[in-house]
Structure 1
């Protein structure tokens, strides 16, 4: 059995991953910026940290085999200049703090698995991108992903295996993008975004957490697209949600400029299209429980 240190353990993915690890008799150490969220059980122990101030309880590293780095400010908030800075720093300062801690003490940490994003890939309606793609997009979120991955790659000089999971749209009914998509459809106001043709690479939360587990078990290294083999267009996704909820779709698609007025620069998230390959993940032997969008939405909302 292993001891895993998780950052962002109280977030959407972190909670589910923690449950899976504990169910398989692993021990979880977790870092939290909230002292009220610190618990101490035999196999689930919390430690305080504050990356902004460079503070970390160094005991968190004791006996740890693998670090899973999920911490990062939510990108689905309005992108003011100050919040943009927070989005970047929450990923890079936290990575730096962990790096310095691992470097400071002799330890048995073998691997770090870092969350990453698909925003690094260029926009395209037709090109399917895999992990060998060197072409990147010139956007704020692409810049965030590059900085995020650089922070993870530094651990290689300490002899750790580094695995980066570039995660598509995570489908969960407990948070993230999906409940926000479902809300207007539920009330009969559902509509596609822009042309609706933009491709959306997605993954069910259960599959994503299983992929993290596989990455730990198989000590995976390198970059992996954490997406299903069946990306769909925004229009198709909207239709599948409406059909599952048994709701009509009669409104015209929402023009981009309207969402820009409402959400500002963050509206990018609704109109961004990425068609990504899942081949590399499949070659690890991973089997998707929810490879098709109809199965995923039915599991969450039927």
Structure 2
């Protein structure tokens, strides 16, 4: 059908998306900073790049009509001043290198799709955020998203359609947030975090990959929230995981101040949350495989 270029293709979302693309008959080129991860086949080909030093194999763009940008250092690592810079640079420098490269080469790329985050929305227990919401938080995560999306918007200057996919908590079997939630529960020390009343707008790994594929094949542009239709409170998520694992919860909720001491500024990842709507992508025709967290957990933890 077409050929696309994926950055971050060997990561959690990238791996799932690559599989769905290949199954749909879409060839995938991908960029990797590790030469050991570069493979070549008829419809799946890797190319080397190093955004930090401005290195990129221009052959990666040959025959490509769209780019899906998923690259970015994990935010689940203590936010020292040095690591904060790494988080931002890994997102902004990589896009700048792609942008500068496309300016000087001949290519057929018409669509740039970039990952983003729902962390741009302020923490709230009552506000439902849609893509039309203009409120922006004033913390580090919001700063990351603002710079991330600003870097993506530059591709409009190259005549491309630009899409920003604001992603919630991705639930997957062996990576991402879920194993971190499961581990203490399995060890018998699981408990809600803080007062447990913070919203968790989650999405199953199959659906986040599916949304990217849907956006790609329908050439959708603009902002899309990539979350399941039914967010849950942290305390409910914790109880459902415990029930699925048949591991009773007996500890009281972990106080917020304890988490702030242990995690520092990064504690907002677990103590704050947003209630986010998926209505826009649903109205355009995307059919979620996992609407409710119960079915998602059953699929991932059985």
Q: TM-score range by the shorter chain?
A: over 0.9
The residue that corresponds to 2:14 in the other structure is 14
Matches within 5 A, 1:109-148: 109-148=109-148
Secondary structure of the residue aligned to 2:47 is strand
The secondary structure found in structure 2 opposite 1:282 is helix
- CA–CA distance in structure 1, aligned partners of residues 37 and 252 of structure 2: 45
Q: Name the CA distance, whole Å, in 2 between partners of 1:288 and 1:98.
A: 32
1:240-299 per-residue CA deviation (whole Å, 9 max, x = no partner) reads: 101111110111000111112222211210111100111101111001100001000000
Instruction: Check the 8 A contact 1:227/1:277 in 2, yes or no.
Output: yes
CA contact (8 A) 1:13 1:209 kept: yes
Give the aligned partner of residue 227 of structure 2.
227
Distance in 1, matches of 2:76 and 2:200, equals 16
Which residue does 1:171 correspond to in 2? 171
Structure 2 equivalent of residue 243 of structure 1: 243
Q: Secondary structure of 1:46's partner?
A: strand
Who is 1:81 aligned against?
A: 81
Q: How far is 1:76 from its partner?
A: 0.4
Contact 1:203 1:227 survives alignment (8 Å): yes
1:273 and 2:273 aligned = yes
Q: CA deviation at 1:105?
A: 1.6
Provide the residue aligned with 1:263 in structure 2.
263
Query: Larger deviation: 170-179 or 97-106?
Result: 97-106
Q: Which runs of 5+ in 2 are unaligned?
A: none
Distance in 1, matches of 2:9 and 2:174, equals: 15
- Measure, in 1, the Cα distance between the counterparts of 2:233 and 2:30: 37
- TM-score for both structures, normalised by structure 2: 0.99
Stretches (4+) displaced over 3 A:
none
The alpha carbon displacement at 1:106 in A equals: 2.4
What is the SS of the residue equivalent to 2:86? Answer: helix
Name the SS for the 1:41 alignment partner.
coil
Provide the C-alpha distance between the structure 1 equivalents of 2:196 and 2:262, rounded to a whole number of angstroms.
18
Q: Is there any run of 5+ residues in structure 1 with no aligned partner, and where?
A: none
CA distance in 1, matches of 2:101, 2:284: 31
Separation in structure 2 between the aligned mates of residue 276 and residue 45 of structure 1, nearest angstrom: 36
Paired with 2:125 and 2:17, the residues of 1 have a C-alpha distance of 32
> What's the counterpart of residue 51 of structure 1?
51
Determine if contact 1:12/1:174 at 8 Å carries over to the other structure: no
**What secondary structure sits across from 1:137 in the alignment?**
coil
Residue 164 of structure 1 and its aligned partner are, at CA, apart by 0.7
Deviation for aligned residue 1:102 = 1.5
List per-residue Cα deviations over 1:190-210 (Å, max 9, x = no partner).
Answer: 100011000110100001101
